[in-house]
Amino acid sequence: MAKLGMITGAANGIGYEISKLLLLDSYQLILVDKDPEKLQEVKTEFSKLSEFENRILVKDLNLPNAAHEIFQELSDLDLSLDVLVNNAGFGVFGTFSNTNWKDERDMIHLHVLSATHLCKLFLPQMIKCGKGKILNVASIAAFQPGPLMSVYYATKAYLVSFSIALANELKGTGVSVTVLCPGITKTKFQQTNCKIGTRRNWNITSSSSVAKYAIKAMNKNKVLAIPGLINRFLANFHRFIPVRTAASIVRKLQERNRKID
């Protein structure tokens, strides 16, 4: 029987690249995204690369019951996951007093509630089987306060803290948790999710290289995975300066990096 992996945000970017790598490693896939047309394109592409019948689930994980609906659909099919990848996410840029609350509410729900709920639902099956892997996609943004993207940085900090704690709880169960913290990656994140351009053209990584690093780290049961030497430095520089200074530096970088009218 093929190993089964489920990836959220599978239609584009890092999620797509992780899905493809799992497919080439003989996984059968559950591809989850809110974009039905793109999901179907990916399924068609993957059908040419694998003998397995991969499934697509069109779900908006911003919605309250989406995680439970996914779990119920898989339970009805008597399917148990070997790998769960919580990748879906987006960002909101701007001062908190001026940003759109619905966007930030949806982001909190997606990054925090849905990711946590999916872990809660599928983890007991993995523990019972004595095997399984969870990969949560966070960001190097998790390691310092982020003025002008305050809620985004905070939700990613939650994912890192939650994942590291969960990994500790699962020692000896055969189930591992890895939290991936990439830097700026070439995806549709900036244009589609942040809805704002970027001037930064250094230390940008391809989504395919991030995915390769993520799969390697996950297979090695690594808990904290930060691809790139510069990103590892950026994730730790706040330890050497006061947190208020770190926040000021992040704000200046954000202001210089964005095309602000």
Q: Calculate the CA 253 to chain-centre distance.
A: 23
32, 44 contact by CB (below 8 A): no
Query: Which range marks the domain in which residue 159 is found?
Result: 3-257
Q: What pLDDT, on a 0 to 100 scale, did the predictor assign at position 194?
A: 47
pTM for the model:
0.90
pLDDT tens digits along 211-231: 999 999 999 999 999 998 888
- Domain of 45, CATH number, reads 3.40.50.720
In total, how many domains does the chain have? 1
pLDDT tens digit sequence for 18-59: 999 999 999 999 999 999 999 999 999 999 998 889 999 999
pLDDT tens digits for 69-87? Answer: 999 999 999 999 999 999 9
Compute the Cα dihedral for 97, 99, 103, 104 and give only its sign. negative
Q: In b/e form, how buried is each residue of 132-159, taking b as 16+ CB within 10 angstroms?
A: bbbbbbbbbbbbbbbbbbbbbbbbbbbb
Q: Could you read off the pLDDT of 158-174 as tens digits, one per residue?
A: 999 999 999 999 999 99
